[in-house]
Structure 1
């Protein structure tokens, strides 16, 4: 027992040290919400504070300030010939969109792919392209004084039309391979931002356009002196692609539109108003927001972000699916490549509010994460975001576009998380059509749980979230949580182990030491005997 007493204090000391070590490691191992932590000098936090519903603001239905057009609008290119894009975009084949549509058509009474489902596109507006047929509806105008009978159906930038085309474009040319994910869904367009407009500090009132007499709207006619500097945009047949009047800003290079950007139209406040209005009026089943506000992470939250946070929480609570682009890394929106994902360099809103928003990262045609796709703990899923083909956004164009103008006359492929998000919004519309009993949370859960999970703890990472979406699985897989057949929780099992030996281990140590010593002595004896035999003179046999 004396030996046991001798080891007791050492054991207690070791236990105390271990407990102390665990206590030191716990703050690093458990991610507390950002609002609950005291920010160190260099500490930035990925988790937003709790929702403050007092920040939920009503929908004014109009711009938050006066804006004026500063750049020319997207135009059709004149290349001397019409090129018809017949091939299917790689993203359609990668996601097996055609098969997914067949599944929904076979399961719905009207044999449509998304018929009756409304998808709100909160963006730069949507041009009434003929391949929307009559499935494009007016939502609202938050950039300019409405110059058309249907506010929101004007896209000076060209961004929103391309986004909406991926969701619900439906070509009437059987030779064209492109088709939207949910080609029978209805698009409800809200023009919420534009890089071709800027705050108007003058006091003069711009003349109203006379659309009844056939005079084009103010957005169609760029201000004097701007048209000569504009590059051509996508042609009617869809060969050259599209560009915007400002020769494409760095954000558009990766398909992005930034809120709160100096010299442009679009704020977090109007975004929050639109989301609230959609929820109040039940104007849509799905909201697609390929617009972001990107800022340095500081461990705090702005008032505009609080307004958006309250709005998305409110919309999610009434069953709306809210999809947002994860954001594009640029010089002004640094990539989150720091070691600790919980302390990002960059915060992106609305994706930051991951409890209520399904944010979408981008992959390229190899299946790898696109280098421009912003990483973060808020990323929900991923979808194709490069080599994009969609509806040509130029007014009057009946075709497709697969290029945008980066600078001058240099055309580049359309890409960005902006165009990954509508693949997911379109899938949400298909899921809603096939499973009308599911609310927004149920649809999001189905999309997440059936995604191609990455090889990471918990089946998600900060690059593609729960993985690249799998439309066929989302439409066919049976989820236990939906049918009430959850796996039973196993009851506690008593361990049937022999009782611990709390006696002294000295006898065992002595026995093992004796055995080891005996083995060593035996080896030495064998070695000596072998040496003696080798050195013994050989005996001389008879006759020698």
Structure 2
């Protein structure tokens, strides 16, 4: 009886302590911001919280603040001006892009991607002659350049290279390079730039892109006594296939462009605004975002991330295919190499929102995962991301580039998940052109299901997602899911073993008791045998 009473008192005391602790924690939680309380439902950082549609921002169609140009724009190199880059990039052959284009032309009786609009949300796109009249102005969210339409100045040289991989069509038959969907239309939105910085010299709000006084240009305003700082290298030009040609400048660290980086232009809010505006005005069928925001994973979500999450969900629901670069590992964006993939060290936005975004990792020319490609459960597919050849983004250039100047005269190859994503956006345009009745989810599903699946459970992993894209398969394969029949799932072959007993310790006790008894019996036997041998008389010595 006394033992029972003691147990009852202990249980009541424990309950009271738990109740008091919960009440204390609840009172503390009131002071925590709402967005910080939205921890993942499953307790894992890899899963974002539910979409909060109230965070969807309206499209202001202008920069979030006033910016000024701080670096010179990309320019032609002084090296090898007469070199014409004719080499076909390895990624183009690896993916059999030429064959994929032939399939679409034969099926549609027209071009490869005709009638499909791809929005490039990036650093802007230069009016390169190999984009012909298929480059359209989308919007300007950095600064209105002199004499150019909104979104059609690419001071950094990043967005033009991305657009080239999607839809460039060279007019020189000797050039091997060609965009994935060379008849698609590019709609350019300049959303960020590392060559611009916030203008703190005045509190005047940024002018609307539809009019007003331009806030910057490639050159200083007339009458200005201040020249722009020079760019960090020789500039963009026509690179040679052996790496001795021209490159682009300023440098692109692993080919990436980071949002909300100190001293640059580009925020998550303006990214969300653009996505919302594209959906509202039906300006594109596919959106390519080779821009990312990278931060440590801590179980929370910021307001800017909530805005992007709401925007991509809004656009995906409107039938737009959204493609994003998976991100590049750098000193400030650590690789997700922790043991538990569901508890990443690094969160990358927009790829984090994998329910509505098809994120793209990068492979190198060996077919293996590129070392800079950020891993994560959100990676959807992969595509070539090294030794990139694309349009030279320098003003008035009519050729290609295969190098970038990281600092000074140090040239390096163009690479990054930024350039893997446009391969997938271009493929989405081809699929849209051939399967015109297929919705956005159907296009993404077709790309995923026909990818070269890795040898992993479920046919996907955290490095290449569902695998490297296969454009020919995506354009020809019959998918059971598209005709209402699910692909057959093989039944598991289970071993015929007795059911596990995880709640009873009796079998373990019996086993240990039997083992212990056997050891005791063995020891007794050895002891008896030794005693008998010691008591036996010694054998008589032999006679001589």
Structure-1 residue corresponding to 2:264: 264
Counterparts of 2:133 and 2:165 in 1: how far apart (Å)? 16
User: In the alignment, which of 230, 233, 238 is matched to residue 231 of structure 1?
Assistant: 233
The offset of 1:229, in angstroms, is 5.8
SS of the equivalent of 2:40 reads helix
Counterparts of 2:215 and 2:398 in 1: how far apart (Å)? 19
Counterparts of 1:297 and 1:125 in 2: how far apart (Å)? 30
Indicate whether 1:473 and 2:473 are aligned: yes
Structure-2 residue corresponding to 1:139: 138
TM-score of the two chains, using structure 2 as the length reference? 0.78
Give the CA RMSD over aligned residues: 2.3
Counterparts of 1:70 and 1:149 in 2: how far apart (Å)? 19
Structure-2 residue corresponding to 1:294: 294
The offset of 1:459, in angstroms, is 0.2
Structure-2 residue corresponding to 1:20: none
Counterparts of 2:487 and 2:475 in 1: how far apart (Å)? 22
Q: Quickly say closer, same or farther: Cα 1:316–1:80, change in 2 above 3 A.
A: closer
Counterparts of 1:207 and 1:277 in 2: how far apart (Å)? 19
The offset of 1:204, in angstroms, is 7.4
SS of the equivalent of 1:265 reads coil
The offset of 1:488, in angstroms, is 7.7
Structure-1 residue corresponding to 2:441: 441
Counterparts of 2:448 and 2:276 in 1: how far apart (Å)? 25
Q: Which aligned pairs between 1:12-411 and structure 2 lie closer than 5 A? A: 35-37=40-42, 45-79=45-79, 81-109=81-109, 111-203=110-202, 218-221=216-219, 224-228=226-230, 230-236=232-238, 240-245=245-250, 248=251, 252-411=252-411
Paired residues of 2:62 and 2:140 also in contact (CA < 8 A): yes
Q: Quickly say closer, same or farther: Cα 1:466–1:488, change in 2 above 3 A.
A: closer
The offset of 1:226, in angstroms, is 4.1
The offset of 1:231, in angstroms, is 1.7
Counterparts of 1:222 and 1:125 in 2: how far apart (Å)? 19
Paired residues of 2:286 and 2:428 also in contact (CA < 8 A): yes
Q: Quickly say closer, same or farther: Cα 1:416–1:237, change in 2 above 3 A.
A: closer
Paired residues of 2:72 and 2:195 also in contact (CA < 8 A): yes
Counterparts of 2:231 and 2:350 in 1: how far apart (Å)? 34
TM-score of the two chains, using structure 1 as the length reference? 0.78
SS of the equivalent of 1:220 reads coil
Task: State the Cα deviation string for residues 177-215 of structure 1 (Å, max 9, x = none).
Answer: 00000000000000000000011111177999xxxxxxx
Q: Quickly say closer, same or farther: Cα 1:237–1:382, change in 2 above 3 A.
A: closer
Q: Quickly say closer, same or farther: Cα 1:206–1:233, change in 2 above 3 A.
A: farther
The offset of 1:489, in angstroms, is 9.0
Paired residues of 1:259 and 1:266 also in contact (CA < 8 A): yes
Indicate whether 1:412 and 2:417 are aligned: no
260-269 or 230-239: bigger deviation:
230-239
SS of the equivalent of 1:35 reads coil
Structure 1: runs of 5 or more not aligned: 1-32, 39-43, 209-215, 492-544
The offset of 1:79, in angstroms, is 2.2
Paired residues of 2:239 and 2:246 also in contact (CA < 8 A): no
Q: Quickly say closer, same or farther: Cα 1:137–1:121, change in 2 above 3 A.
A: same
Counterparts of 1:133 and 1:354 in 2: how far apart (Å)? 34
SS of the equivalent of 1:36 reads coil
Q: Quickly say closer, same or farther: Cα 1:193–1:102, change in 2 above 3 A.
A: same
SS of the equivalent of 1:254 reads helix
The offset of 1:290, in angstroms, is 0.0
The offset of 1:221, in angstroms, is 1.6
SS of the equivalent of 1:362 reads strand
The offset of 1:225, in angstroms, is 4.4
Paired residues of 1:268 and 1:307 also in contact (CA < 8 A): yes
Q: Quickly say closer, same or farther: Cα 1:483–1:222, change in 2 above 3 A.
A: farther
The offset of 1:228, in angstroms, is 4.7
The offset of 1:408, in angstroms, is 1.1
Counterparts of 1:418 and 1:188 in 2: how far apart (Å)? 17
Paired residues of 1:73 and 1:222 also in contact (CA < 8 A): no
The offset of 1:237, in angstroms, is 6.8
The offset of 1:148, in angstroms, is 3.7
SS of the equivalent of 1:301 reads coil
SS of the equivalent of 2:247 reads coil
